[in-house]
Structure 1
């Protein structure tokens, strides 16, 4: 059996918040026992409401946040406790595309210097070779080769995101973590960036962890999709399976909230109501029960484990099998290229 490129085992990231003197500091459980496998060459989408822990998970995987406990196994090696000075090897193989390209690019550095910086840190190539590499990377992401003399503020939002992508692939990593890379872009530009990411994956053999709140886009780009709620994975399945047979009430509510052209169209499930609870005060039992229309007494008493309900479809709901059978699903999965 092939070993996953990335394995998370009972991964936790908790934050102690400030509090008045002599008062216990509250514990915010941003990531609360996540188990996840990511195979080489695949795209795993990660969706959920704002505040569910998606970005914290990404930053913990790349060790921008130190994990509280659990394991991060990359290519079979536990990197969760590797000292900071030894992380250069990991970060050469794992890169990140950030949500805000402007905030992640130094405005005082030229584009050529921005993209060449990872190569310099890793001591790859001579200055002439790095200049050629930068020109090739600009060409690969659809920008003119002479753009290296300009600065990030001279580009549009979509172009800046292309610069961020060029910088992320400069070291030819194995895994690229895409932290909502299209959320700040116009819809037409989103499609172009996603298509480019797919081309880069095919050409370079990249693996993506694709974090987004755009349920339509994640369906297009992902091989599998994980659904997060209050720091936990509550459902995980192939893209087609998740949209056809959602088995968790939270997933069903997310899918029901996708805008449709016909406002009179019938929806299989009503969108969820209420606000996501605070990760400082997580409900007992099933953490979705306070907003779930199907909640029963057992939901408050016992937390449902993430279990396989058939064919690798994982769900953390006491009634997952019944819900999967009743679900009418969505439209057939479309693997066509985004236009």
Structure 2
């Protein structure tokens, strides 16, 4: 069986926030026990509402945030506890595309310098060979060689994101974490960028963790999809299986919220009610129970485990599949 390229086990990232004169500071549990495997060459989509911990998870995986606890194994090596000085080989093999292309690019640097900077830090090639590499990368993302002498503010949002993508693949990484790379773009540009990412994956053998709010786009690009709620994965399945038989009430509500051309069409699931609770005050038991139409006393007292309900389809719900799960108190 193929070994995972990235293996995450019980990963937590908590933040101490605010001030408390009479006790410990409140703890914000942004990532609260995530377990995932990402295999070479696949695209794993990750969806969920704003505030559920997707971006914090991404930043923790590349050690922009230090994990509170848990394990991150990349190609068999534990990254979560490795000292900063030992992470250089890891950083060459894992890159990130950020949500806001303008904020992630230094506006005082030319495009040539922006894309060549990773090569210079890694001491790859000569100035002439790095310039040639920059021109090749620009061509790969649909830009021209003469764009190398311009600055980020001279480009449209879609072009800036292409520059960010060129920078991310400059070191020929194995894994690229795409943190909502299309959410800041016009709808007409989103499909172009996603198609380009798929082409680059075929050409370079890339593996993607693709984070997005767009349920239709994640269906297009992903091999497997994970659904995140309040810091945890509540459902994980193949692309086709998740849309054919969503098993967690949260997933069902998310899919029911996708706009359809016919406003009078009946929806199989009632709209989601309420707001996502604060990660400072996560509900006891099942964390989705305060918004779930199926919630019972069991849901209030016992947190369900993420379990296999058939064919590798995982769901963290007592009533998903054929029998209730026992979970953890």
Deviation at residue 84 of structure 1 after TM alignment: 1.1
In the TM superposition, 1:35-114 aligns within 5 A as 35-114=35-114
In structure 1, C-alpha distance between the alignment counterparts of 2:80 and 2:89, rounded to whole Å: 13
Partner of 1:299: 299
Partner of 1:235: 235
Q: What secondary structure, in the 3-state scheme, does the structure 2 residue paired with 1:29 have?
A: strand
After TM superposition, the score normalised by the length of structure 1 is 0.94
Deviation at residue 21 of structure 1 after TM alignment: 3.1
Q: What secondary structure, in the 3-state scheme, does the structure 2 residue paired with 1:82 have?
A: coil
For 1:115-155, what per-residue CA distance to the aligned partner results, in whole angstroms no more than 9, with x for missing partners? 00000000000111000000000010000111010000000
Q: Structure 1, unaligned stretches of length 5 or more?
A: 324-339
Partner of 2:156: 156
Deviation at residue 188 of structure 1 after TM alignment: 1.1
Q: Structure 2, unaligned stretches of length 5 or more?
A: 324-329
Aligned residues: 323
For 1:199-231, what per-residue CA distance to the aligned partner results, in whole angstroms no more than 9, with x for missing partners? 000000000000001000000000000000000
In structure 1, C-alpha distance between the alignment counterparts of 2:309 and 2:132, rounded to whole Å: 51
Q: Which deviates further from its counterpart, 20-29 or 9-18?
A: 20-29
Whether 1:18 and 2:18 are equivalent positions in the alignment is yes
Deviation at residue 22 of structure 1 after TM alignment: 3.7
Q: What secondary structure, in the 3-state scheme, does the structure 1 residue paired with 2:125 have?
A: coil
Partner of 2:271: 271
Partner of 1:182: 182
In structure 2, C-alpha distance between the alignment counterparts of 1:322 and 1:310, rounded to whole Å: 10
In structure 2, C-alpha distance between the alignment counterparts of 1:270 and 1:142, rounded to whole Å: 43
Partner of 1:255: 255
Q: What secondary structure, in the 3-state scheme, does the structure 2 residue paired with 1:36 have?
A: strand
In the TM superposition, 1:165-180 aligns within 5 A as 165-180=165-180
For the 8 Å contact 2:182–2:193, the answer to whether it is kept is: yes
For 1:142-185, what per-residue CA distance to the aligned partner results, in whole angstroms no more than 9, with x for missing partners? 00111010000000000000000000000000000000000010
Partner of 1:115: 115
Q: What secondary structure, in the 3-state scheme, does the structure 2 residue paired with 1:158 have?
A: helix
In structure 1, C-alpha distance between the alignment counterparts of 2:86 and 2:110, rounded to whole Å: 29
Shift >4 Å, 4+ stretches: none
For the 8 Å contact 2:309–2:322, the answer to whether it is kept is: no
In structure 2, C-alpha distance between the alignment counterparts of 1:232 and 1:126, rounded to whole Å: 45
